Amino acid sequence: MNAITRLAAVISLASLFPLAATAADSKGTIEVTHWWTSAGESAAMDVLRNQVKADGYTWKDNAVAGGGGAAAMTVLKSRAVSGNPPGAAQIKGPDIQEWSQLGLLSEDALDGVAKDEGWAKLLSPTVVKIVQYDGHYVAVPFNIHRVNWLWINPEAFKKAGIDKAPTTLDELFAAADKLKAAGIIPIAHGDQPWQNSTVFEDIVLAVMGPEGYHKAFVELDNATLTGPKMAESFAALKKLAGYMDPNRGGQDWNQATAQVIQGKAGMQAMGDWAKSEWSTAKKVPGKDFQCVPFPGTAGSYTYNVDSLAMFKVKDEGTVAAQKDVAKIALGTHFQTVFNQNKGSIPVRNDIDMSQFDSCAQASKKDFDAASAKGGAQPSMAHNMATNLAVQGAVFDVVTNFINDKNADPAAAAKQLGNAIKSAQ
């Protein structure tokens, strides 16, 4: 049974006609399900919340903590099952198509705004494909995050006698050895399935390049998934995991970021939402921290587009609020301020990047260059490449592997191929 059938089986018809709350003193109420709860994420979300309120609508916040969004998706499914979905929810990538196929997303709330605001000219075709279903906009895109980054504390590097940022996996391991010898945790990390898979996809990109990555995580090609390069990737993951704090537990990504900010750890492999934590701590890129492509992946770019999907609702006030959110989200001011807070780059292609810091400027330059030559790839770990069932299969295999000291890399590659086959 595929993911759509599975979801369809549990969602009752009643969910097509959800109730929507209206506050008497506002133009309409919109409830928004999302997982932007860290300090930096919340500062970014405030830009939207405040503007919606200023426009006369009531914002009902349904924030579900948990990086990567797995917990938020569970809440969203149960809301849909009980016929009570929110007006909007953070849904990304191919998952948007699945919710649309169930008939739950609104196909007419956004088209008018998109036409009036000229979205077709402002957005890249890659992004339009993600947020449209059957030729209609069903979600509003916010940003482009780069996933394949490495965040470095230069002070920790100095203490460990490392004079340059690593550019290959071997240099990464050599830097990690020096940090360890200096008593600093080399890699900050939390044992959550999505964090494990974020690091794993970085390594696959480094080992196989963008073509191999594409074959593995977009085409789901069995020979690539089970082949020697995948075994090599698992072996590199095992080596890297050896440089993570053994007492890390399932800490959140932002707690791991805090360890690097405080100099307790030297590096973190994480998407550029991590930059929002550095920014809220008033740290400056190039001085207090360094952002470099994950070693071995310069020239490639794993992208992650955040978007809010709009649910089919009857209440006219909520529909008006959905349109308001869409209009705000792609406005020039919002695209600038939100993304400065969030760590991402604008999804609109006409924003002046001189207002952004050096990491964002590098991200934009690298995205454009990688896109021009097939190096821009959708992030598997962040719901861009596959549906959630396939992604879940990868998460399980990778997390079991990382937690089993005796796990064999070649056997893990075979397991990965089998798990993906049965999830399809």
Taking the complex as a whole, the smallest distance from the CB of residue 337 to ligand BGC amounts, in Å, to 16
* Among 69, 190, 227, 295, contact with ligand BGC (rule: CB under 6 A): 69
Taking the complex as a whole, the smallest distance from the CB of residue 115 to ligand BGC amounts, in Å, to 27
Taking the complex as a whole, the smallest distance from the CB of residue 177 to ligand BGC amounts, in Å, to 29
| 41 in contact with ligand BGC (CB under 6 A) | yes
HEC string of the chain equals: CCHHHHHHHHCCHHHHCCCCCCCCCCCCEEEEEECCCCHHHHHHHHHHHHHHHHCCCEEEEEECCCHHHHHHHHHHHHHHHCCCCCCEEECCCHHHHHHHHCCCECCCCCHHHHHHHCHHHHCCHHHHHHHEECCEECEEECEEEECCEEEECHHHHHHCCCCCCCCCHHHHHHHHHHHHHCCCEEECCCCCHHHHHHHHHHHHHHHHHHHHHHHHHCCCCHHHHHCHHHHHHHHHHHHHHCCECCCCCCCCHHHHHHHHHCCCEEEEECCCCHHHHHHHCCCCECCCEEEEECCCCCCCEEEECCEEEEECCCCHHHHHHHHHHHHHHCCHHHHHHHHHHHCCEECCCCCCHHHCCHHHHHHHHHHHHHHHCCCEEECCCCCCCCCHHHHHHHHHHHHHHHHCCCCCHHHHHHHHHHHHHHHC
CA neighbor of 150 nearest in space, from 239, 266, 288: 266
- Gap between the Cα atoms of 44 and 65, Å rounded: 15
Binding mask 142-171 for ligand BGC (x = CB under 6 A): ---x--------------------------
Binders of ligand BGC among 319-358, rule CB under 6 A? none
Report the residue number, 143 or 290, with the smaller CB distance to ligand BGC. Answer: 143
Stretch that binds ligand BGC, among 64-72, 213-221, 227-235, 358-366 (CB under 6 A): 64-72
Report the residue number, 273 or 367, with the smaller CB distance to ligand BGC. Answer: 273
Taking the complex as a whole, the smallest distance from the CB of residue 382 to ligand BGC amounts, in Å, to 4
Whole-angstrom CA distances from 314 to 103, 134, 242, 300 are 14, 21, 53, 44
Taking the complex as a whole, the smallest distance from the CB of residue 92 to ligand BGC amounts, in Å, to 6
- Bridge pairing between strands 29-34 and 290-293: unpaired
Binding mask 255-294 for ligand BGC (x = CB under 6 A): ------------------x---------------------
Report the residue number, 55 or 252, with the smaller CB distance to ligand BGC. Answer: 252
Stretch that binds ligand BGC, among 61-69, 259-267, 312-320, 405-413 (CB under 6 A): 61-69
Q: Which residue is nearest to ligand BGC (CB)?
A: 273
Taking the complex as a whole, the smallest distance from the CB of residue 110 to ligand BGC amounts, in Å, to 20
What phi-psi label fits residue 209: left (phi over 0), alpha (psi between -120 and 50 degrees) or beta? left
Count of residues that bind ligand BGC according to CB under 6 A: 11
Report the residue number, 64 or 176, with the smaller CB distance to ligand BGC. Answer: 64
Taking the complex as a whole, the smallest distance from the CB of residue 304 to ligand BGC amounts, in Å, to 5
Report the residue number, 179 or 270, with the smaller CB distance to ligand BGC. Answer: 270
| 68 in contact with ligand BGC (CB under 6 A) | yes
Let me know: does 196 contact 402? Beta carbons within 8 Å: yes
* Among 95, 202, 306, 366, contact with ligand BGC (rule: CB under 6 A): 306
Report the residue number, 58 or 195, with the smaller CB distance to ligand BGC. Answer: 195
Binders of ligand BGC among 369-388, rule CB under 6 A? 382
| 304 in contact with ligand BGC (CB under 6 A) | yes
* Among 7, 11, 51, 67, contact with ligand BGC (rule: CB under 6 A): 67
| 35 in contact with ligand BGC (CB under 6 A) | yes
Taking the complex as a whole, the smallest distance from the CB of residue 42 to ligand BGC amounts, in Å, to 10
Stretch that binds ligand BGC, among 62-70, 201-209, 239-247, 395-403 (CB under 6 A): 62-70
Footprint on this chain of ligand BGC (rule: CB under 6 A): 35, 41, 67-69, 145, 253, 273, 304, 306, 382
